[in-house]
Structures are given as C-alpha cells and as structure tokens.
C-alpha cells in the first residue's frame, strides 16, 4: 500500500508533496533546486506538449532550437532584462576540470573563459541577436518560431514543479513588421494558452494584463492567464509578452519596410512551463491523490481483473484482454493491470493515487453477466454497465469527467471570487479563505506596493474586457476606473 496522503485541510503543502511523490510524478535531485521528472510526470508533460504544439503549428509557428548558453554581455544589452535576470543566473566560467596536487577535482584555471556564459533563463537576447542577422526586409517577416527547452533561474526554495531552478517549457519568439501585428500575435497566443488551460487542463482562467511592476523584464505589456488553486492562492498559468521594439533596439534589428524605410522590428514572446503540472495537481486533486483530466491523462482507463482461483483468473483475464483491445481500438488510452502478486485493493489504491480517470473492475460474475464496473476517479462513483457498447460508454464517461472537472473548478473559483470595497474586509477574507478579489485600484504603483507589503497579495491582472466602472480605491481613497484582480499567488 502506498503511503497515505496528508489531507488538504491538515497541511496543504504536505498534501501537494504527498501527491507528487505518491503518484510518482517527480522527485528531488541531489542538486538543490533541480528536480527529476519521473515517467508518470513526464508522460503528462508529453501530452501537454502534444496538444500545445499542435495549436502552435496550426497557427503557423515552427519549432527551432537556440543555444543553452548566452554570452554574459548579451544580458546587459536590454536594461530591464538584465535587471530582471542577473540575480538568478547560473554562470559558466570554466571549460575544464583537473585533479589538483591533492587529487581533488577542481576547475582548471587555464580553462577560464574570456567571457562568462550564462545558462539561459529565457532566450530573447540570443534569439534577437540571431534575428538581427536573418531579417533585412519586410519580406523576411513575420518570423514565427517556438522552442521546447530547459531554462535555469537560480532558486533554492524548491517546490516540485512550482518553483525549481531548472524547468522545462516552451518559449515562442516572433518578429513582425508592425506594432498591430505583434499585438495581435500576443493576444492570439494568450487565447491559445487560455483554450489549452480550459479545454485540456479543465482549469478555468482569467485572461488579463499585468501591471507595470509585474511585467516581464523587457516587455511593453505582459498578458497572462491566472488560475485559482484549492487553497485560495492564484497561479499564473501562462504569459504572452508584447515586447515592442525593445529587443530589436538592443540588438539593432532593423528592416526595410514597404516604404523602403528602415524600422525596428516588433516582437513578442510567450511561454508556459512544467509549472502547469503543479496547477493541474492543485486544481483537481483530492485527499485520495491525483485527479487528472481525461484529455491529458497518460492512462485514461485501467482494467483490474478480479479472481480467486486459477480457473477464474484465466477466464477473467481473457475477457479483460478483449475489452482492453476494444477500448484501445476506440482510441482510449487503456492499461490492463494483470500484475500477479498484488491484491485488487492495492491496485485500486495505486491507480487512485495516480489519478487514472476511470477504473474498470471485472470479476467472474461480470464475465457471466456481460457487465463491468466502472469507478470514476473524480467523484468516486461506481456503476455497473454492460460490456456491450463499452467503448462508447467509456468515451462518453471520459468526456463527462473532463467537463465535470472544469465545472467543479469553475464553481470553486466563482465561490471564491469576491467583489470587495473595503480594505479591511479584503484583508480579513484574504487571511480567512483566500481567493480572487475584485477590488478597485487607483492605478498607482504605490498602492500596489503597499498592498503587497501589507498583505502579500498582488494584482494578478487587469482582466481583459472588463467594463469601466468608476469607483474608489479602498486602499488609497483615490478615484479608480475599474476593479482589478488581487490574490496571494504561487
């Protein structure tokens, strides 16, 4: 039997870690800050990649690969960028190790680099250096590239998936001839992220724009999607940046426009990371373990045969094999768990902790009666259904579960989104139960900083499409044009 999962109500952080470990998603590594993504976690990431990659390609993007290392001087070219990343860089200074006179392995001083290399925290600088060589004319535009890679931001307070020094992600980098086109791209990619979050991850998100203080280092505007976790904290689930001409100017990337004038190129960048796996866990899982949306679950249905005697075993497993083949043919990612030496209850628990959306149990009586028992992971309900037409039943149930997870998460978010007009009420509710708060903001960085300082809550975003609503900022007493979304965040 796997170790028990700590209940959320008792210790939310421990619950999260118990699920990551219990479902074998990830493990700590000997390098502090780095994580090991185990096969169950990586299979989830592969499914997420496949869905996103198809959406990127359907909108004209192609994948490429730029170097892991960035010359230190590149970081310094864009003022906000260096300010944002210099303090969390892994710096390569030598290219060789050698044994010293005591036989200890040390850096070989003769291999000291002329210029340090930084392990990429993000790739704007090296990509814009390259684009400046590739782009001469409007005919070379747009460039719509993406890469799937690893990045490093120095970080010692590790939380598996949520906060790690190295993480996996994709970073899109596009170059455009006009401001309008670049903004359109920024918004298009935000919408792709929102669609992915809602349709695939079953996580409802708020689309919005970051305040100046929360912007990406080097962006003119950062768009984001924000999701609410079960502990009432927000998690930024994807960002899409309109970079203006900042990187084009820093790397002198000009093009001849249709009027034969030289102009700086307009840029966007956008990314989501393995952090999303943390969001997936925290939005859907329960005290029994991981809960996965069927569209992303590596295994959508597991079949557990139940039997006592060898004769029963033979009959039941034979039928289970046939059912597995039918389901597979119908496009269901199904696994037959006919491992010997494990009791059914042990297997049930394992698949429950691992978040398999549907568990099908079949015993001798089911074989006789032409039935099978289906247990839903999300609401733990059980039904006995006919084996006839099972593939269709399973597919329908997977869709039902997918929708139910989204609906539940949406209901939770709605129940935990509060309009507040008093700073005291805000602070009280924030401490008592967290959640999203729609509160007026006067638009000043001072107010924003004060709230952060006093409550640890930040403005998650200025929601897109929010109607103007004149009001008063309850923190400063100054007039406000609209409500913004506050929350404490991961």
What is the C-alpha separation between 237 and 461, in angstroms, rounded?
12
Q: Tell whether residue 288 is a contact of a copy of itself (CB under 8 A).
A: no
* Comparison of 112 and 456: residue with beta carbon closer to a copy of itself: 112
User: By CB under 8 A, is residue 158 in contact with a copy of itself?
Assistant: no
71 binds a copy of itself (CB under 8 A): yes
Structure tokens at 340: 């010997």
Q: Does 79 bind a copy of itself (CB under 8 A)?
A: no
Q: Decide if residue 150 touches a copy of itself (CB under 8 A).
A: yes
- Which stretch in 4-12, 40-48, 302-310, 411-419 sits in contact with a copy of itself by CB under 8 A? 40-48
Residue 130 or 447 having the CB closest to a copy of itself: 130
**DSSP secondary structure letters along 404-429:** HHHHHHHHHHHHTEEEE--HHHHHHH
User: What sign has the CA pseudo-torsion 421, 427, 433, 439?
Assistant: positive
Residues 399-458 that bind a copy of itself (CB under 8 A): none
The angle subtended at Cα 23 by Cα 18 and Cα 27, nearest 5°, is 70
| Residue 297 sits in the site that holds a copy of itself (CB under 8 A) | no
User: Among 194, 294, 285, 309, which Cα is nearest to 240's?
Assistant: 194
Nearer to a copy of itself, 72 or 285 (CB): 72
SS3 at position 225: strand
- Name the segment binding a copy of itself (CB under 8 A); options: 64-72, 415-423, 457-465, 478-486: 64-72
Indicate the residue among 145 and 457 with the shorter CB distance to a copy of itself: 145
Residue 35 in contact with a copy of itself, rule: CB under 8 A? yes
Q: Which is nearer to a copy of itself, 342 or 386 (CB)?
A: 342
User: Apex CA 480: angle with CA 474 and CA 482, to 5°?
Assistant: 105
Q: Exposure pattern of 31-66 as b/e (b: 16+ CB <10 Å)?
A: eebbbebeebbbbbbebbeebbeebbeeeebeeeeb
- Least Å distance, CB 245 to a copy of itself, is 21
Binding flag, residue 39, a copy of itself (CB under 8 A): yes
196 close to 51: Cβ distance less than 8 angstroms = yes
Q: Choose the stretch contacting a copy of itself; rule: CB under 8 A; options: 68-76, 319-327, 344-352, 419-427.
A: 68-76
Is residue 74 involved in binding a copy of itself (CB under 8 A)?
yes
By CB under 8 A, tell whether 343 contacts a copy of itself. no
CB-CB contact of 322 with 343 (8 Å): no
Of the residues 17, 86, 429, 464, which one makes contact with a copy of itself according to CB under 8 A: 86
Does position 95 interact with a copy of itself (CB under 8 A)? The reply is: yes
Q: Is 59 in the site for a copy of itself (CB under 8 A)?
A: no
- Dihedrals phi, psi of 179, to nearest 5 degrees: -60, -45
Host H or E run for residue 255: strand 254-256
- β-strand partners of 151: 167
Binding-residue pattern over the window 165 to 204 for a copy of itself, x denoting contact by CB under 8 A: -x-x------------------------------------
* Binding of residue 325 to a copy of itself (CB under 8 A): no
Q: Which tokens in the block code for residue 185?
A: 């791209």
At residue 396, φ and ψ (nearest 5 deg) are -65, -40
Q: What is the DSSP letter of 78?
A: S
- Is the CB of 76 or the CB of 317 nearer to a copy of itself? 76
Residues that bind a copy of itself (CB under 8 A): 27, 29-31, 34-39, 42-43, 45-46, 62-76, 82, 86-98, 105, 107, 111, 116-119, 126, 129-130, 133, 145, 149-150, 152, 154, 166, 168
């Amino acid at each position: 039997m796997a170790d028990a999962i700590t209940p959320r109500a008792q210790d939310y952080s421990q619950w999260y870690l118990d699920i990551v470990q219990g479902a074998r998603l990830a493990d700590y590594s000997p390098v502090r800050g780095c994580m090991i993504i185990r096969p169950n976690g990586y299979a989830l990431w592969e499914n997420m990649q496949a869905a996103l990659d198809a959406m990127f390609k359907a909108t004209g993007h192609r994948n490429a690969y730029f170097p892991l290392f960035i010359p230190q001087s590149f970081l310094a070219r864009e003022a906000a960028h260096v300010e944002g990343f210099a303090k969390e860089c892994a710096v390569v200074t030598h290219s060789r190790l050698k044994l010293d006179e005591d036989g200890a392995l040390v850096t070989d001083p003769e291999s000291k680099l002329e210029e340090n290399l930084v392990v990429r925290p993000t790739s704007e600088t090296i990509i814009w250096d390259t684009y400046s060589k590739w782009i001469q004319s409007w005919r070379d535009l747009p460039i719509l590239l993406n890469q799937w890679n690893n990045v490093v931001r120095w970080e010692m307070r590790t939380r598996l998936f949520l906060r790690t020094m190295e993480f996996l992600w994709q970073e899109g980098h596009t170059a455009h001839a006009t401001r309008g086109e670049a903004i359109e791209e920024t918004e298009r990619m935000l919408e792709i992220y929102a669609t992915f979050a809602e349709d695939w991850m079953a996580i409802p998100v708020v689309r919005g724009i970051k305040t100046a203080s929360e912007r990406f280092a080097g962006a003119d505007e950062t768009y984001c999607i924000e999701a609410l976790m079960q502990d009432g904290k927000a998690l930024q689930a994807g960002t899409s940046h309109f970079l203006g001409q900042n990187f084009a100017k820093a790397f002198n990337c000009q093009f001849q426009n249709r009027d034969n004038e030289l102009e700086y190129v307009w840029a966007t960048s956008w990314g989501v990371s393995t952090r999303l796996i943390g969001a997936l866990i925290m939005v859907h899982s329960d005290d029994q373990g991981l809960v996965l949306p069927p569209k992303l679950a590596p295994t959508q249905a597991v079949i557990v045969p139940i039997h006592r005697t060898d004769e029963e075993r033979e009959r039941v497993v034979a039928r289970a094999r046939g059912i597995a083949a039918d389901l597979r043919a119908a496009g269901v990612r199904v696994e037959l768990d006919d491992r010997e030496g494990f009791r059914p209850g042990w297997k049930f628990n394992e698949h429950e902790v691992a978040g398999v959306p549907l568990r099908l149990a079949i015993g001798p009586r089911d074989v006789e009666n032409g039935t099978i028992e289906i247990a839903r992971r999300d609401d733990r309900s059980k039904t006995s259904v006919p084996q006839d037409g099972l593939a269709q039943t399973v597919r329908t149930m997977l869709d039902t579960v997918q929708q139910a997870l989204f609906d539940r998460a949406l209901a939770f978010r709605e129940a935990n989104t509060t309009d507040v007009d008093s700073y005291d009420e805000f602070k009280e509710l924030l401490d008592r139960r967290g959640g999203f708060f729609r509160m007026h903001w006067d638009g000043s960085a001072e107010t924003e900083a004060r709230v952060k300082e006093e409550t640890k809550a930040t403005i998650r975003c200025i929601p897109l499409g929010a109607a103007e609503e004149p009001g008063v900022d309850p923190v400063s007493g100054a007039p406000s044009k609209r409500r913004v979304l506050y929350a404490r965040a991961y």
